[in-house]
Chains A and B, each alone.
Chain A
Amino acid sequence: DTGVSQDPRHKITKRGQNVTFRCDPISEHNRLYWYRQTLGQGPEFLTYFQNEAQLEKSRLLSDRFSAERPKGSFSTLEIQRTEQGDSAMYLCASSLAGAEAFFGQGTRLTVV
């Protein structure tokens, strides 16, 4: 049990549909990160929050992607008009400022 929970674990969607993923961080952690990982690659940074503020977004995060962290607790990542290239494992992590990150199990997205 990592303490970081992600839901769903797997999602299969048709191209063009919207999908939303949820992440529940470790409760006392003020930082929350989203990463994307494809087979044989390291995690690629997407965005991160400190409390409810979204402080940094990667160029990878196109305008079809949006993330929120209302009230500085759980976070959602939405992908609109999904494309086959969006198929990947989406990882959420949380940390205290300046400390190591703890990762969830990830949500595996398959776009068909």
Chain B
Amino acid sequence: AQSVSQHNHHVILSEAASLELGCNYSYGGTVNLFWYVQYPGQHLQLLLKYFSGDPLVKGIKGFEAEFIKSKFSFNLRKPSVQWSDTAEYFCAVVSNYGQNFVFGPGTRLSVLP
């Protein structure tokens, strides 16, 4: 069965610090990869996605992620976080075997003003 792991349960940063959140998945075949964000009290929203092509993908609000196939990883990055980035971040995978989205446990990001 597919699984997704996220390295950090809770990350605390000061504004302007750089961010990297880890994501690894277990499936060895072709995958589509996603990062979703859930701001307090809001629904899950798509930050960025990877289907194919350039492994460095850019999303909304200055976020980017890099797909490294050999490491089964899809880490999320942002050079300078803002207080408004405080949220829960979820990595998700869809494989060409199963058609449902498999989510990681999430990483809670707290940005201190």
- A contacts, CB < 8 Å to B: 2, 31, 33, 35, 40-45, 48, 50, 55-56, 91, 93, 98, 100-106
Contacts and interface: CB of A to CB of B under 8 A. Distances in A.
Contact of B100 (A41, A56, A102): A56
Contact of B44 (A31, A55, A91): A91
Given A48-B100, A56-B98, A56-B99, A43 B44 contact: yes
A40 B38 CA distance: 12
Interface stretch (B60-68, B73-81, B103-111): B103-111
A70 to B, nearest CB: 21
B106 A42 contact: yes
A35 B103 CA distance: 10
B10 to A, nearest CB: 10
A103 B44 contact: yes
B43 A104 contact: yes
A33 B94 CA distance: 13
A42 B99 contact: no
Given A50-B99, A55-B99, 13 more contacts: A33-B101, A43-B44, A43-B90, A45-B103, A56-B100, A93-B44, A100-B34, A100-B46, A100-B49, A103-B44, A104-B43, A105-B43, A106-B43
Interface string B1-38: 00010000000000000000000000000001010100
B87 interface: no
A104 B46 CA distance: 12
Interface of B: 4, 32, 34, 36, 42-46, 49, 51, 90, 98-106
A48 B99 contact: yes
A100 B44 CA distance: 12
Contacts of A105: 42-43
Contacts of B90: 42-43
12 contacts: A40-B105, A42-B103, A43-B90, A45-B100, A45-B101, A56-B98, A91-B43, A100-B49, A101-B101, A103-B45, A105-B43, A106-B43
A106 B51 CA distance: 27
A40 B104 CA distance: 11
